[in-house]
Amino acid sequence: MKISTRAEYGIRVLVALARADGSGPLPLATVARVEKLPHAYLEQLVGDLRRAGLVTATRGKAGGYRLARPAAQINMVDAVRALDGPLLEMPCAGPDNLEACDRPQVCSVHSVFQRVYEALQGTLGATTLEEAAIEAGGPPYPPAVRKRNAAAHAALTGRTSRTTSTTTRSQATHA
């Protein structure tokens, strides 16, 4: 399972806003510079966070973003759903709720996916933005370093990660 870049970057924005709470609106350019993230991409993400009611915007010279409610009242489930949609799309889901089984009789993988969903829901639901902001360190590795680490891990374990196999196939196609 892989956390999307959208979710990671969006949560990093929320953590930055939680840390700046009480000091007025935080310009997105500041978040982008400190976290070493692309400003244009963050603009897209904060739009989703605004629509979800997690952040508010203030226009003008002293403008920026701030949390819409206290960090202790925002959990990681709220953030991930705002950025990525359902936590886990059940293979037996119906059109009304992608996180729930819609079949009259459960499918062969239902119990496995249900346990994964419940674990995600429980862990992310129990983790608040306030906790994440207190525990947060510096920015994680950039994508290029992550790809190198994934390739090194695959070489050590003899397994091919999706990142390295996709890159290898792409390189082979363009050779």
- Give the domain ranges of the chain: 5-135, 143-173
Residue indicated by tokens 């608040």: 128
d(CA 37, CA 97): 32
Beta-bridged to residue 55, according to DSSP, are 67
Beta-bridged to residue 93, according to DSSP, are 101
The structure tokens listed for 66 are 């701030």
**Model confidence over 75-99: pLDDT tens digits?**
999 999 999 988 887 777 767 777 7
Tell me which residues of the chain have a pLDDT lower than 70: 1, 94, 136, 138-139, 160-175
Count of beta carbons in the 10 Å neighbourhood of residue 161: 16
Give the Å distances, CA to CA, from 57 to 17, 22, 66.
Answer: 11, 15, 7
Give the Å distances, CA to CA, from 170 to 1, 11, 166, 174.
Answer: 21, 30, 6, 6
| Close Cβ partners of 121 (under 8 Å, ≥ 6 residues apart) | 77, 87
Question: Which amino acid belongs to residue 25?
Answer: P
15 near 76, Cβ under 8 Å? Answer: no
pLDDT at 163: 47
**Dihedral of CA 137/14/121/104: which sign?**
negative
52 near 81, Cβ under 8 Å? Answer: yes
- Give the DSSP H or E segment for 62: none
pLDDT at 174: 43
For the CA atoms of the chain, what is the radius of gyration? Answer: 19
Q: What's the topology of domain 5-135?
A: Arc Repressor Mutant, subunit A (1.10.10)
